[in-house]
Each structure stands twice: as structure tokens, then as C-alpha cells.
Amino acid sequence: MAETTAPNASLVRRNPNFRSLWLSATAGVFGTAVAAVALPVIAAVELAASDFAVAALAGMAFLPWLLFGLPIGVWVDRWPRKPVIVWSLVVRVVSLATLPLGYWLGALTLAQLFLVAFIAGTSSVFFSLADQALVQQVLTGDELVEGNGIVTASGAAADAAGRGIGGWLAVVLGASNALLVQVGASIASLAAISSLHVHEGVAPRAEHRIFAEMVDGLRYTFSTAPLRAILFNAALWNLGGSVVASLMVLLVIRVLGESEVWVGLLMAATSLGGAVGGLGARRLTELLGSGPVWRWSMVPGVLGYGSLLLMTPGPGMIIGLVGMFVMGVSIALNIVVGTSFRQRVCPPAMMGRLGAATRMVSWGMLGIASLLAGLLAQTLGIATAVLVGVLLATAAPIAAIFGPLRSIHRLEDLEQAPTPAP
């Protein structure tokens, strides 16, 4: 359980284990943000890849959730989580370091870029599931909204800084060289997680039951109306939103003729909005109720994505900055409320599998959406493909507002999801 001192102090100060997780996650997000800008720029500028290839590359980080999420979730529930995080970071450092090396040797290829993105994405599956499970172990139930708000806000701020710096470095040093920042950030994350001290009571299970445990995780994920509704909402949002996000580089560079710096700034605006949303989530849910916040948070997010279609070169890019900031606030509020509810009701022994099944569906959509974005851009044009993504994203708030949780004021008052049989 949580290690606490000085109850009136902030959660970061009074809980050293949470502090270790927070620092590790924040450093990791910063590095990942730099890579999120650098990788598509490498494809679009340094390798002159097609529109389809640039858009599809974004899906390589999320395709592992669709392919391997469930078995990895079972393993995370079986193994101590701290070593899982450590080894996932080691794999991330080694794989990403091969890209600047290939660039220096003049041997970098599009195939290598896709392979490294896929390997780094697979390591992120291990990292994310283990990190989420450890957050549940180091915080009490009443601390979850506060803790998730802090993690979301600081992660969003780190994401904003990383994307802004990534866009600048891509221009000044080249996108491949910018990845050295990601390597350094992963090493910092590794150092932070090494200071974590928590007793992990992960019970061993029979190896031959892995398929049965995967089925248990899926069954639990869809076991109650609240869990199903939150998952369905996230999947719809990710499907449409990722179509838009996958095409942002192409929209800025190839349609509007602006530099990589604007790509980083637009992504940074999203993350700054996420920081504001994360920090304000606790107060807003106390004031309005977690139910209304969750249901309505995506409405301004859709408008934010739509603002990208109103951008024009030069000062007209500011429209997109404002819109992406609003979108970031929206998505952060939705994530904090949904994640806190799942952590509140889920037994610790099921947390890895719940996270895996949930993200297999919701984050798996990101991989599918990237491929869809590439096809749409190739057949309809980049701007029209962005419009299709915005329209798809609109389904998320509609499903939340008129769905089974439409009259719920406080999600935390709902009956807890059933505990799985041993």
C-alpha cells in the first residue's frame, strides 16, 4: 500500500514510491514526445517516404497493443513489475540508438525505421502495463484521482516540452540526431525507477493457464456497463483522433508548406492543454461530478481537432495552436476520470490484464487508424482525410452523452465490478 508521511504535504512529497514512478514516467514521456516528432519527420524529410508510409509509421507504436497486449498483460500480472519496467527501458534505449547510428553510417532505411518503431512500441506495452499496476499499489483509493491527475499533468507538460524541442532539433540537428534526446530520457527514467521500493505480492501461476487468464482479462474488461462504456468511448475517440494525428505532419509540411517547428508546436500545444486538464481534473470532478466531466469532456476536443482544417500558412497557424490546446484539456480530463475509475474497482491481481485488454481495444485502434489515415490520404487527399478523422471522432462524445452512463453524477458511486474467481 501507499507509503505516506506528512499527510498535509503534496502527494509527490509525502509518498516516495509515487515520486519514483512519477519521475520515471515523466522522463519517459519527454523522450517519447521527441521521438513522436522525429520519427515521422525522418520518414517524410530524410527518407522522402510516401504519404501512406508516413501516416502508417505512427501506428507502429500502437500495433503491438493489438497483437501482444493480452499475453503481455498476463505476464505483467505474474511477474514483479519493477524489473519489467527496467528491462523495457533497456530495450527502448538499444533499439532507438540504432537509428542515429544508421543515419551516421548512411545506411538508414524505411524498413529499419518501421522495425525500430515496432520494437520500441512493444517495449512500451510492458512499461505502461507495469507502471499502471504499480500506481495502484503505491496509492490508496482516495489518492487515485489526485495521483493520476499529477501524472497526467506532468506527463503532458513533459510531452509539450519534448515535442517543441523535438521539432526544433529536427530542423537544427536533423531528425535522426534528435533521437539521442530520447535515448538520454530513457536512461533518466531508468535511474528514477531504480529508487522504487515496494513489496510486490505477485503470486505465481501455472504457465499452461496463460490462454485462460487472457480470457479472464477480456471477460473482466467487459463485465460491467461502466467498464464497457468507458472503453467504447476511448476506442471511438482513438479511431478518429488518431487519423487526424497521423496526418498532422503531412498537413503542416506538404499541404501548408510550413516547417517541422510548427509540427512540434502543435503537438506541444496539445500537451500543454493536457497539463492544464490533468491538474484541474480533481477540482472539476469535485465541483461538477465525475460523470458529467467524463461525458462532456470530448465535445471541445472534437472542435479542437476541427481547427486544424482552418489553419493557413503564417499567422493562421495560431488557430491550430489554440484548437490543439483545447483538445489536450479535453482528452486529459477524460483519461484521468476513466483511468481512476478502473484502478478504483479493479483487484490488484487483475490490473495487468485489465490494462492490457482495455488498451488492446482502445490503443489498438491507434494502429488501425494510422493505416486508415494512410489509405485515406493516398485516395482522398490529406485535407479530406483529416476531415474524415474529425467526423469519426465526433462519435465518441455522442456515445458518452447518450450512452448507459448518461444520468450518472459520480462514477465512483457505481457498484464495483465483480471480483474474478481465483
Q: What is the pLDDT of residue 326?
A: 95
State yes or no: pLDDT of 206 exceeds 60.
Answer: no
* Mean pLDDT computed over every residue of the chain: 85
Residue 26 and residue 143: Cα distance in Å, rounded?
19
Mean pLDDT, range 262-268, rounded to an integer:
85
Output the DSSP codes for 15-69. -HHHHHHHHHHHHHHHHHHHHHHHHHHIIIIIS---HHHHHHHGGGGTHHHHHHH
Q: What is the pLDDT of residue 201?
A: 59
Residue 185 and residue 174: Cα distance in Å, rounded?
18
Mean pLDDT, range 395-410, rounded to an integer:
91
Q: What is the pLDDT of residue 68?
A: 86
Number of H helices, E strands in the chain: 19, 0
- pTM of the prediction? 0.69
Q: What is the DSSP letter of 411?
A: G
Structural element, H or E, at residue 85: helix 81-104
Closest CA relative to residue 230, chosen from 392, 369, 344 = 344
CA atoms within 13 A on the CB side of 221: 24
Q: What is the pLDDT of residue 204?
A: 54
Q: Which of 139-153, 247-261, 302-316 has the lowest mean pLDDT?
A: 139-153
Q: Which of 63-77, 89-103, 166-180 has the lowest mean pLDDT?
A: 63-77
Residue 1's pLDDT band (cuts 50, 70, 90): very low
Residue that the C-alpha cell 521539432 belongs to: 167
Q: What is the pLDDT of residue 418?
A: 42
Q: What is the pLDDT of residue 419?
A: 44
**395 neighbors 236 (Cβ within 8 angstroms):** yes
Q: What is the pLDDT of residue 102?
A: 93
Q: Is 79 exposed, middle or buried (0-12, 13-18, 19+ CB in 10 A)?
A: middle
Q: What is the pLDDT of residue 422?
A: 40
Q: What is the pLDDT of residue 141?
A: 66
User: 348 vs 224, which has greater pLDDT?
Assistant: 224
Closest CA relative to residue 55, chosen from 375, 379, 274, 308 = 375
Mean pLDDT, range 11-33, rounded to an integer:
86
Q: What is the pLDDT of residue 207?
A: 54
Residue 232 and residue 224: Cα distance in Å, rounded?
12
